[in-house]
Amino acid sequence: MQADALLHLNLNRRGGISRRKFLQSASLGISGSALLSQFRLNAAELKKEGRSCILVWLAGAPSQMETWDPKPGTPNGGETKKIATQTPGIEIAHYWPKIASVMNDIAVIRSMTGKEAAHERGTYHLHTGHRMLGIEKFPHFGSVVAKEIGDPQSDIPNFVSIGQTLSSGFLGVQVAPFIIDRPGQLPDNVFNDTPTSRQQRRLALLSQQESDFADAGAAALVKEQSKLYQKANLMMLSPRLKAFQFDDEPTAMKEAYGKSQLGQGLLVARRLVEVGVPFVEVRSGGWDMHNNVFKGMERRAPEVDQGLSQLLIDLKQRGLLDKTLVLCMGEFGRTPKINARPPVPGRDHWVKNFNLLMAGAGIKGGQVIGKTDENGQEIVDSPVEVDDLFRSMCHAMKINADMELHTPIGRPVKLVESGTVINGLFR
């Protein structure tokens, strides 16, 4: 691949680099138009074949009764009312009119049941599919996706997170999340204003410096570093970098996603998926509503309501929804009973039942899976465990859930330990 030649420090047999060869390949890189079309082709190829996943993470654990499982008129229901949705028979909380209008594409899981009621542990469980138990750091599902279906030669990372998230754990840095803090801007340090010719001279001198160090006995480290520099340089020159920005989006599109950080993040997520990034996480914070859950919902819901509904519309219009899994969830649920916390009551941590949204990638929309009782205290139909959820996520991404991963000490662990694909979820 030509892209490889861009900064390939051609190691000779002793691990050194021939200067002539380096300059040759560097000059190849500058005449970049052939290179650009190659990337476009790759992106198209990925779009055709590859699947992607967008995880919308509601950090802090949103209340199930104020989202997709409202119980108005019951002792636990509180101020939340319910509204009808696009799908006859499905009703959700009144904070979410725009989600209601795209319900035909969404499967609501109302019977999630978890095991971890602390934020950090719940976050870990719902991101890795494993409970936090000691020293082994299980990988973020995004890292598994990046490893299994990402392109190892890719010029931009296979896993991007807008906002801090978990790590790739024992899968290592190759599939670690590339984290950006502000959506709509290029990643930190990805750009410099050094003229190309000067940059090339620097890199040429660097390659000789590296060659000497390789000869001195550090060949393996030099080889790895030159690979990383090659990747970094590829990224700096990547036409796909544009996906991180949205200067070229029509104003109407930007407005459709909403001006919020989350809305912009979701727009970036769509753009990344469009250029072939297989996993993107977008974070929304502020869902830990021990106090003031109803006012809190009024404040927090509109951004997600607007951004997420627009994401689904947009993906569908572009023909991407069939291969893109969209997940919207938090780490657990909240107590059905409203607490007596002064001055304004809210809901506390609750792991027995909670809910989430899934869409795309073959999932049958316009349906509700699972049911809770009238007061929202108990699951009365089709409980779904975290393992079942992860099996379903693997199914949607066409990843083998029974695959074995190996921890650093060589202990084999299953990607998903048990569970079954959620019954009736897929078309």
Partner 1 sequence: MLKRGQSSLFRPYQWIVFITLICLFLPTTLAAAPRKNAKKKAPPLNLPPLKTQEQKMQLLGYIRSTMPTRRIARSVSFSSADLDQALEQELGPTSQAALAKTIDDETFIRRVYLDLTGTLPTPQKIDSFLASQQRGKRAALIDELLETKEYARKWARYWSSVIFYDSVANKNRVSPQALEDWLAEQFSKGAPWDYITVMLISATPQRNKAVRNDFGQKYGPNNFVLACENKSTELASQTARIFMGISIKCAECHDHPFDNWKREQFHELAAFFHPYTYKMPDADDPTVKTVVKPRFLLGEKPHEKMKSDARRVSIAAYLAYNPQNYWFARAYVNRIWSELIGDGFYDVDSLGPDSDVIHKPVVNRIAANFRYKNFDPKWVFRLIMNSKIYQREMRTMSSTSELFTAVRPSRLRPDVVASAVEKLAGYDKKLHQEIMQVFDMNPSLPQGALEGSIQQALLLMNSATLQSRLSQSELKQQLVKINSNEDLVQKLYLNVLARHATEQEIQRNSEYLNESENREEAIEDLVWVLINSTEFRTKR
On the CB side of 227, CA atoms within 13 Å amount to 10
Peptide bond into 343 cis (omega under 30): yes
Residue 109 burial (CB < 10 Å; 0-12/13-18/19+)?
Answer: buried
Compute the distance between CA of residue 69 and CA of residue 85 in angstroms, rounded to an integer. 13
Q: Tell the smallest beta-carbon distance from residue 419 to partner 1 (Å).
A: 17
Compute the distance between CA of residue 244 and CA of residue 318 in angstroms, rounded to an integer. 18
- By the rule CB under 8 A, 318 interacts with partner 1: no
Cα 372 from chain centroid? 29
- By the rule CB under 8 A, 174 interacts with partner 1: yes
| Tokens 């299953």, residue located | 414
For partner 1, the closer of residues 172 and 319 by Cβ is: 172
For partner 1, the closer of residues 236 and 253 by Cβ is: 236
| Tokens 């719902």, residue located | 126
Do you know the residue count of the chain? 427
For partner 1, the closer of residues 156 and 338 by Cβ is: 156
Helix axes 119-128 and 386-397, enclosed angle (nearest 10) = 40
Q: Tell the smallest beta-carbon distance from residue 349 to partner 1 (Å).
A: 14
Calculate ∠ Cα 395-398-404, nearest 5°.
85
- By the rule CB under 8 A, 408 interacts with partner 1: yes
Phi, psi of 130 (to 5 degrees): -125, 150
Over the window 105 to 124, marking each residue x when it contacts partner 1 by CB under 8 A and - when it does not, the resulting string is ---------------xx--x
Task: Kindly identify the residues of this chain, within the stretch 196-215, that bind partner 1 according to CB under 8 A.
Answer: 198, 201-202, 205-206, 208-210, 212-213
Q: Tell the smallest beta-carbon distance from residue 224 to partner 1 (Å).
A: 6
Closest CA to 214 of 50, 53, 13, 78: 13
- By the rule CB under 8 A, 241 interacts with partner 1: no
For partner 1, the closer of residues 194 and 400 by Cβ is: 194
Identify whether the C-beta of residue 315 lies closer than 8 Å to the C-beta of residue 99. Answer: no
- By the rule CB under 8 A, 135 interacts with partner 1: yes
- By the rule CB under 8 A, 222 interacts with partner 1: yes
2, 72, 86, 136: residue in contact with partner 1 (rule CB under 8 A): 136
71, 140, 231, 270: residue in contact with partner 1 (rule CB under 8 A): 231
Give the 3-state secondary structure of residue 279: strand
For partner 1, the closer of residues 30 and 228 by Cβ is: 228
236, 320, 403, 421: residue in contact with partner 1 (rule CB under 8 A): 236
- By the rule CB under 8 A, 181 interacts with partner 1: no
Compute the distance between CA of residue 122 and CA of residue 201 in angstroms, rounded to an integer. 50
Give the footprint of partner 1 on this chain (CB under 8 A): 120-121, 124, 132-137, 157, 172-174, 176, 178, 187-192, 198, 201-202, 205-206, 208-210, 212-213, 216-222, 224-225, 228-229, 231-232, 235-236, 408-409, 411
